[in-house]
Structure 1
Amino acid sequence: MGKQNYKNHRKFYPPHHFIYLPLLLILEGIGIYNIWNDSENKLSWILFSIVIFLILYLAIMVRQHYALGNQNRIVRLEFRQRYFEIFNKRSDEVCEKLKFDQIAALRFADDDEFKELLYKALNDQISGDQIKRSIKNWRPDHHRI
């Protein structure tokens, strides 16, 4: 696996992103196409398209909801632990001032940059994306969902 950085830090789950979802999109396209071109079975194709759309919607939303909700909790916990290890004090007040995208972005910074970027996040209100773009020594996270 190559060195992780801003440009390649996103992660995909190939069976879901490149097989299951495209297959559902193709089936949805077939259903919509046949609604207009198969007048004998139009009602069947409408029902088919609705069912495929609902399966597609549920596949995207349920997977994302559970995985991201759990991941967000872990990212917050990791931030609290790291803050305690670096500053030797609780992070309650700091966590209340930061948005989640800032907390998530800070996990990619090494310890020296973490301090500097945390200060900028608190005082200059830089966004999570700005934090990620400012990181010079990227700390990879290969265990994300």
Structure 2
Amino acid sequence: MQNYKNHARYYPFHHFIITPLTLVYLGWTISNLVRSINSGEVISIQVYHLIGAFILFLLPLLARIYALKNQDRIIRLEMRQRYFELTGKSFQDKEKKLRLSQIIALRFASDEELLPLMEKTIEEKLRAKKVKQLIKNWQEDRRRV
């Protein structure tokens, strides 16, 4: 069962293979550039490799950012739909009073506790971490990025 303590997700290919390998390659390329500078060699090739290594380092990060931004949009839509189904009203007024991190945290609440917890979050300006800790009946989501 998913809960506050185990809800964080790692994507092994991204977190433990691609990103570390690009960091190693970037470090190795910087090391080669420094060695070339210190030995008086021509550094144009090393600079070329450094630019390539930097681009390769940024690509998985950029892909992750795109995925997370898309996920954030989907979460907002999901919360709008849930709120409408529970109340018959638009989520727009509540959405203006909540930060995205709070909306993301609230999505883990069951339908029974969502509305009271949302009001408490708005009134007490709770941080997302605190919102998640207050959830008693956790709504699982194992499809997150």
Spell out, residue by residue over 1:62-119, the C-alpha distance to the aligned partner (whole angstroms, 9 max, x if none): x133212211111011111111122222222111211111111001111222122101
Matched, 1:29 2:27: yes
Which residue of the partner structure matches residue 69 of structure 1? Answer: 69
Which residue of the partner structure matches residue 133 of structure 1? Answer: 133
RMSD: 1.7
Q: How does 1:2-21 map to 2 (within 5 A)?
A: 3-21=1-19
Which stretches in structure 1 are left out of the alignment for 5+ residues? none
Q: Counterparts of 1:13 and 1:128 in 2: how far apart (Å)?
A: 22
Q: Give percent identity, aligned residues only.
A: 42
One-letter code aligned to 1:133: Q
Q: Counterparts of 1:25 and 1:91 in 2: how far apart (Å)?
A: 42
Which residue of the partner structure matches residue 89 of structure 1? Answer: 89
Which stretches in structure 2 are left out of the alignment for 5+ residues? none
Q: TM-score normalized by structure 1?
A: 0.87
Q: Secondary structure at the match of 2:61?
A: helix
Q: Secondary structure at the match of 1:19?
A: helix
**Runs of at least 4 residues off by over 4 Å:** none
Is the 1:34–1:42 Cα contact (8 Å) retained in structure 2?
Answer: no
Q: Counterparts of 1:36 and 1:68 in 2: how far apart (Å)?
A: 36
One-letter code aligned to 2:28: I
Q: TM-score normalized by structure 2?
A: 0.87
Matched residue pairs, number? 142
